[in-house]
Structure 1
Amino acid sequence: MARVVGIGNQSFESIRKKDTFYIDKTAFIKEWWENEDIVTLITRPRRFGKTLNMDMLRCFFSNEYKDRGELFEGLNIWEDEKYREIQGAYPVIFLSFAGIKGNTFELSRKQISDRIIDLYESNRFLLKSDCISDTEKARYISFLENPMDEDISFKLNELSNYLSRYYKKKVIILLDEYDTPMQEAYVNGYWEELVAFTRSLFNSTFKTNPYLERAIMTGITRVSKESIFSDLNNLKVITVTSDEYSKCFGFTEEEVFDALDEQELSSEKEKVKKWYDGFTFGTSKDVYNPWSIINFLDEKKYKTYWADSSSNGLVSQLIQQGSSKTKVIMEELLEGKSIKTKLDEQIVFNQLDGSSEAIWSLLLASGYLKVDYVDFANSEGNNIYELSLTNFEVKKMFEKMIDNWFKTRDDSSSEFVSALIQGDLDAMNYYINEITANIFSCFDVAGKEESRIRPENFYHGFVLGLMVDQIDNYIITSNRESGFGRYDIMLEPINKNSAKYQGSIPTGRILPGIIIEFKVINPRKENTLEETVEAALKQIEEKNYDAELIGRGVNPSNIHHYGFAFKGKEVLIDGNRKDAS
């Protein structure tokens, strides 16, 4: 009989007591314990079972669960007598930073303090024990009554001391989602303050803590050692490219297919693989994200479950505000291509604004990209990673994300694209100026040094985004060689000799090939936008940008040229078109 699929249950005890759907990951306990690492940091994308695995560790090791071996009966770990003997044998400190999302440093510090206060409250029994002195008891009570008056960075170390003396065993510390405050600090502008605080907290908890037996931290990203781990030389780091624990988070293909059989969905295996397969951890491939699989088993519908389970705000911000090169690479990824790049898996959040490599590192750690191949230590001594979008679900997420960037209240973006394809210059000029007036800021197009984006590059990336819903009709490329130069954007119709195409474009004629050139007015050369747009059109002709389209079978008489001229938020478009009969 198929087990009930529960959504969102992160309590190992509850899942086991109710016997709801669960894939056995208890081999993680054995692998971690036998590795003998004092402090382990494991990074995995969100919704990959980190919290449930951490709760499983708590239920296995914590003396609160002494004599609760029935929770593990029938699971992998219970087959080993040695591990039955240590179940429930250690004091465990478990806390999560998942909800630390303050928009100021003061609020984040208070939220972290509240988590530690909860731990002190749950261990109040220590105040009745002779294992701690009267002075220590007074300090314990003082912290509970006036927490913000004290330095909380040492409080986990202090609690470890009390618990180890009471139970006569060193403690195990489990910290889930350690990096959530880091991301919030970056987004909200208090990075340096939080880094200083976190470095002190982690040093006293994981480095200078003589009462620590073992510790695990989980998160999405590996924040750079220089930021918060500078004193932790006892830290073992496991990232998405590491082989350790590669099958402990996420579902293997065998596990997914067995689950589909159990739920009488065997016929869906091929389509489930297309949508949700693709994650790689170390050399383990064909890993599926648990959130999408569990939701699919429950609803039996194909949706972007994992992609929709978060706002993806940081990723969206980095790509939208990135350079034109970043946008062009995203275009190639959406076309199913791969990219080759150097990577540093140590994320330095305050460098994300200026480094495309840091952006790809973040996308890899977050699960949006996968490693197809690694060229270890190339001629320059660097590892070169070949990356691509993880799967169809992620592709759909990015298409939706980019589409949302360019939506306006009157749907001017879709009207603009329709006018572009039909060659309606008046409509194109009307709608593009509606869009720029409504959603651009002056900073976006000012070309100031601090923006890192030349104005024409910003417009280039913006117009590329407007075309995203035309991927069924066009092959869209940019910054490629053709003729005697490099065009800005080219749209090659997929059906070159047929009027059968998709979307809202009126039928009855063959889709044109389109070449677009962008130019920002140069006051030293041009007095008006009319002169600038004329220069753009002249460049298309003189550089023979038509050559690539003609070589691919597009009728020369059915190629449209468009020049886009910009001055701040003001846009002028002109062009020439010859329709195929």
Structure 2
Amino acid sequence: MNKLPNLPTGDSSFESIRQNKYLYVDKTRHIYQLIDEGKYYFLSRPRRFGKSLTISTLKCLFQGKKELFKGLWITDEANVDWKWDSHPVIFIDFNEISHDTSENLKVSLKWHIENQALINEIQLTSSLLKDQFKNLIVSLHKKTGKPVVILIDEYDKPLIDHLGKGEGALNIAKTNREILKAFFGVLKGGEVAPLLRFVFITGVSKFSRVSIFSELNNLKDITMVEAYAEMLGYTQEELQTCFAPYITRFSEERGIPEADIANTLKLHYNGYRFSDKNSKVYNPFSVLNAMDHMNFKYYWFETGTPTFLVNLLQENNWYLPTLENMQATEALFSVYELERLQPEALLFQTGYVTIKDIRGRLYTFGYPNQEVKTAFLENLFYAHTRGIQEPSRFVMLSDYLEREDLDLFIDTMTAIYASIPYTLESKRDEAYFHTIFYLMVCASGVDAKSEVLTCVGRIDLVMEFEEKVFIIEFKCNQSADVAIEQIRVKNYADPYFHTGKNIILMGINFDTKKHNIAGWKYEKMTNTNKE
């Protein structure tokens, strides 16, 4: 096989990717559409999803660096007439702006504006932040005779970096919010707006327009717009075409069939949905790293632990199994406020859940893929069992279930429950035991689905494998026999007969005084549809 282009697994800019001939999945059609159809844009996407690369691509495009776009859609498409004029570009990356205090945020922003003025040989006439920003824009336009482009990356860093760290940090975030609100308001001013060619603002989260962009009310939010749902991330078609030779190399060097590699990539890294249209994209960071290392690991999750999100879920006493089928209206998950942090909004915007189904105004959410589900629930498990002895023993649970060594499975579960420090206990009811059980099996890699417990008797837990499915009912201070009987009476197994899989019923009883499993029972059902 010929040598393949290197994969840009780091934080590469568009310019370095093209100059060093790295693989580049062509998104210039979407970018051209943005510029052709509007002027002010906002886009929210999870971290490591290509926001910075999109900003970098826009910067090179507006600087007229045509040579970098050779072979891409924007230069090859016959109907596209891009002028390749060079425009002055103001680029602000809030990853590089200090924001540990509100005063440092103002000082760092001022330094950034002053530095760009110095580079462009512009003399600023004010010491005030807002006036300096306005002065820079007006002076750049006057000096070049061209409208100015504003590109802002990770605008929300001065806010989200202070979440989950106590009341003092939250107050810093609130003050930072007011600074940003005034700063961005410059772009709508009557003297500035006519001088702008294009404005593009990105971030992980989407705060309400009132809280941040009230003065910039002409900003078009494309976070959930169908036309741009596939602008970041890789589509199935892009994976199959652009990465075909990398999958072949993976297959040849690791001795794994190409079809298995493709299926595992889809299971681990696909599933993100950013519009009402049922189109899904792969996590680009994880795909690139999987191809580069020729291994399937939790690359995206390892780049950042969502401590503030875990803390928020614990503070709100969320029943964690409900994350699998969380429901909300768009008003609840699309924006949030510092004064009223909504877990639904944070989970969606940070990429830990995604849209699974839409019925009218009601959206149903779930984990996008196996990487996020397993790694996130493992993180939640550790958070709920701090101080547990030998926490890694849960890793083997999936293997025990796969080979149907249920005695060893229950023994391991019992040992883990016994080692949870008493000081961490909440109310040890059925929901508590269910939550820990669910976290343990999911963190071990089991494909487990849980539903909210109700009086009408929905299935407590289903664990699926390639050739078998476990249907589990939990009880507290009753008996495993009662649990098994409920599964039979409610016909919980009926939906799984058509799968052809072996069906195993499990009843598990918890003793709230002993704080552990007090009894269990299992039965195998004959699947008449099994070939």
Q: Normalising by structure 2, report the TM-score.
A: 0.77
Task: Find the aligned partners of 1:42 and 1:309 in 2 and give their Cα distance.
Answer: 21
Distance 1:577 1:185, change over 3 A: closer
Which of residues 418, 422, 443 in structure 2 aligns to 1:436?
422
> Does the CA contact (< 8 Å) of 2:509 and 2:520 recur in 1?
no
- Specify the code of the residue in structure 2 equivalent to 1:468: L
Large movers: runs of 4+ above 6 Å: 81-84, 417-420, 427-430, 472-476, 489-495, 511-514, 552-556, 578-581
Q: Counterpart of 1:33 in 2: which secondary structure? A: helix
1:73-119 CA-to-partner distances (Å, cap 9, x unmatched) read 22111135896663242111111112446443333333333433332
Q: Which residue of 2 aligns with 1:10?
A: 12
Does residue 243 of structure 1 match 2:229?
Answer: no
Q: Does 1:158 align with 2:135?
A: yes
State whether residues 343 and 361 of structure 1, in contact with CA within 8 Å, keep that contact through their aligned partners in structure 2: no
Alignment of 1:162-173 (within 5 A): 162-173=139-150
Distance 1:153 1:456, change over 3 A: farther
State which of 186, 199, 209 in structure 2 corresponds to 1:225: 209
1:360-419 Cα shifts (integer Å, max 9, x gaps): 22222222222233223xxxxxx111222111211122232123222526337969x999
Do the aligned residues in 2 keep the contact of 1:475 with 1:493 (CA within 8 Å)? yes
Change (3 A) 1:478 1:55: closer
The aligned amino acid for 1:343 is E
Percent of paired sites with the same residue: 22
Shift of 1:310: 1.5
Q: Is the 8 A contact 2:271 2:368 kept in 1?
A: yes
1:251–1:289 CA contact under 8 A, matched in 2: yes
Cα 1:155–1:466 change in 2 (3 A) is farther
The answer as to 2:386 corresponding to 1:399 is no
Does residue 564 (structure 1) correspond to residue 512 (structure 2)? The answer is yes
- The change in CA–CA distance for 1:580 and 1:153 in structure 2 (over 3 A counts) is closer
Distance in 1, matches of 2:471 and 2:350, equals 39
- The whole-number CA distance in structure 2 between the counterparts of 1:155 and 1:293 is 42
Distance 1:473 1:29 in 2: 40
Rg larger in structure: 1
Match of 1:410 among 389, 396, 410: 389
Partner Cα separation in structure 1 for residue 378 and residue 146 of structure 2:
52
Given that 1:43 and 1:218 are in contact with CA atoms closer than 8 Å, whether structure 2 keeps it comes out as yes
Deviation at 1:160, TM superposition (A): 0.0
1:465 maps to 2:459: no
Q: Distance in 2 between matches of 1:254 and 1:226?
A: 39
CA contact (8 A) 2:388 2:419 kept: no
Structure 2 residue 265 is matched with structure 1 residue 272 = yes
Distance 1:39 1:31 in 2: 13
Aligned CA distance change for structure 1 residues 253 and 515 (closer, same or farther; 3 Å) = closer
* Alignment partner, residue 347 of structure 1: 335
Of 168, 172, 181, 1:199 maps to: 181
The superposition leaves residues 472-529 of structure 1 with CA deviations (integer Å, 9 ceiling, x where unpaired) of 89978676356xx879x9678999xxxx99xxxxxxxxx9987454xxxxxxxxxxxx
Pairing 1:165-564 to 2, within 5 Å after superposition: 165-187=142-164, 188-189=169-170, 190-208=172-190, 209-210=192-193, 211-239=195-223, 241-263=224-246, 264-265=248-249, 267=258, 268-282=261-275, 283=277, 285-325=279-319, 327-330=320-323, 333=324, 338-344=325-331, 345-353=333-341, 358-376=342-360, 383-405=361-383, 406-408=385-387, 410-411=389-390, 421-422=410-411, 431-432=419-420, 435-437=421-423, 440=424, 460-461=431-432, 464-465=435-436, 467-470=438-441, 480-481=453-454, 515-517=474-476, 537=477, 540=478, 547-549=485-487, 551=489, 561-564=509-512
Q: Which amino acid aligns with 1:349?
A: E
Residue identity opposite 1:393 in structure 2: E
Cα distance in 2 between the residues matched to 1:296 and 1:474: 21
1:171-206 deviations in Å (ceiling 9; x for gaps): 110001111222124342123212211111111134
Q: Residues 169, 469 of structure 1: CA spacing in aligned structure 2 closer, same or farther, 3 A cutoff? A: same
User: What secondary structure, in the 3-state scheme, does the structure 1 residue paired with 2:226 have?
Assistant: coil
- Which one is further off, 107-116 or 471-480? 471-480
Q: Equivalents in 1 of 2:388, 2:271: separation in Å? A: 36
1:328-350 Cα shifts (integer Å, max 9, x gaps): 302xx1xxxx3432232442232
| Residue 96 (1) aligns with residue 73 (2) | no
- Partners of 2:88 and 2:149 within 8 A in 1: yes
Shift in alpha-carbon separation, 1:235–1:494, aligned structure 2, 3 A: closer
Q: Give the aligned residue type for 2:203.
A: G
Q: How does 1:120-135 map to 2 (within 5 A)?
A: 120-123=117-120, 125-127=121-123
| Residue of structure 2 in register with 1:526 after alignment | none
* 3-state SS, counterpart of residue 143 of structure 2: helix
Q: Work out whether residues 421 and 512 of structure 1, in 8 Å CA contact, stay in contact via their aligned partners in 2.
A: no
Q: Which secondary structure does the structure 2 equivalent of 1:386 belong to? A: strand
Q: Distance in 2 between matches of 1:51 and 1:34?
A: 21
CA contact (8 A) 2:159 2:174 kept: no
The residue type paired with residue 279 of structure 1 is Y
CA contact 1:69–1:84 (8 Å) conserved in 2: no
C-alpha distance after superposition, 1:414-458 (max 9, x if no partner): 69x999945999x899634xx133xx4xxx96xxxxxxxxx568x
Cα separation, 2, equivalents of 1:255 and 1:424: 42
What TM-score, normalized to structure 1?
Answer: 0.70
**Structure 1: 5+ residue runs without aligned partners?**
128-136, 141-149, 377-382, 446-454, 502-510, 518-536, 566-571
Distance 1:385 1:296, change over 3 A: same
Deviation string 1:307-331 (CA, Å, 9 cap, x unpaired) is 2222222332222333344x2302x
